[in-house]
Structure 1
């Protein structure tokens, strides 16, 4: 079964991702510079306020950061609102950085986790897939991030956001890429969001002009996808 074909209008989504992949290849120096400039701002946002609240940390790329939107419109903030409405007193930290790869995440995770967290949502890998990074490297980096979380916040519940990519590098690569998330979540007994962009990826009206970054409305659906998996985790922690 080709998992990509479960995405509505996946050809539109593929076209957008393919365009982004070509831009990544042509402008790698520019993107690196931009990412370096963005990191301090993202890192500053990870400083928890002094409180007794439990903490949910979203660690990811431009999808988590809310590329093109106000941070309040990005899915981490929307999930925080859902948690509050449901009676869960958590501080939400958005540690998303546009252009981030699993290698980049591995490099900054120790700095981000200067203080322990209670829930860690890992959303990385899409940029690896767009660049054709060897799957073994992506898997190793994701596992290293999880290992660091276990070391620095042993009590934290981990949630992994699954991602799918277009078959530009062949259907086998795409299928094996998707399986990384299911296998790592099982290995680490982590909760899994099967596909972060379910009911959003490939739907033109729910994505910005680049065809890959969700609009504010798209982020509302992404927040629902996350909340379905995250709410049981918060329920478990409240027992």
Structure 2
């Protein structure tokens, strides 16, 4: 009789622990540059906190970790991805390349660096959402074609989810007549809080898909 009660107690404890483990939120690490870090914005207005709020409003059990570093390039991301993943990640958002483009760096170097990041995620069995950035036409058609092709090609090769252009929602809104000053900070490079909101609305559904890939 006592043995039966002990077994029942152990089963109850196991179920309680299992329930606690199941309730742990999925950790999504956002590896990026100033667009991820939240440059020039109040802490609650950056990409990561706005994405966190967007997910919570839809009942997603997820914690978004801000691994954005202002000024970072794809080389910087590749250099820190291993220890970033080692800190605990169930899923990875990669949003790098803007600073490579602004500096006119060789697209092939950016491709190689992003390849290293995706390979590290594969070794860690962490699903990835790859977020690209479009090069402007003033870099010339050859540079733009080579740069813009990086993200869809790597996403297809590694089976990653893809958002081709992080800033596409802002460009679309401005083209439709929205006030640019309302969506962008005065530097013309970084989004305002309202601009980030549009970015999160566009990226959010893909992040939900990313969560569905976590095992």
Q: Is the structural similarity TM-score above 0.5?
A: yes
Query: Structure 1 residues 59 and 174, CA, compared in 2 at 3 Å: closer, same or farther?
Result: same
TM-score (norm: length of structure 1): 0.73
Q: Which secondary structure does the structure 2 equivalent of 1:208 belong to?
A: coil
What's 2:86 paired with? 114
Q: 1:150 aligns with which of 113, 118, 122?
A: 122
Deviations along 1:99-131, whole A, 9 cap, x unmatched?
000111111112212233111000001111111
> Is the Cα–Cα contact under 8 Å of residues 65 and 71 in structure 1 kept in the other structure?
no
Q: Tell me the number of residue pairs that the alignment of Structure 1 and Structure 2 aligns.
A: 186
Task: State the secondary structure of the residue aligned to 2:149.
Answer: helix
Alignment of 1:44-63 (within 5 A): 52-63=24-35
Q: What's the RMSD between the two structures over aligned residues?
A: 1.7
**Stretches (4+) displaced over 6 A:** none
Deviation of 1:206 (Å) = 0.3
Contact 2:127-2:213 at 8 Å conserved across structures? no
Correspondence for 1:94 among 61, 66, 82: 66
- d(CA) in 1 for partners of 2:147, 2:170: 19
Deviation, 1:140, is 0.3
CA–CA separation in structure 1 for the residues paired with 2:189 and 2:87? 33
Displacement after TM superposition at 1:142 (Å): 0.3
Q: Which range is displaced more, 210-219 or 66-75?
A: 66-75
Report the counterpart of residue 181 of structure 1 in structure 2: 151
Residues 138/236 of structure 1: CA separation in 2 closer, same or farther (3 Å cut)? closer
Structure 2: how far apart are the matches of 1:114 and 1:190?
20
TM-score (norm 2): 0.81
Given candidates 186, 194, 214, the residue that maps to 1:209 is 186
Q: Secondary structure at the match of 2:185?
A: coil
| 2:48 equivalent to 1:76 | yes
* Structure with the greater alpha carbon radius of gyration: 2
5+ unaligned residues in a row in structure 2: which ranges? 1-22, 175-179
Greater length-normalized contact order (CA 8 Å, ≥ 6 residues apart): 1
Shift of 1:222: 0.7
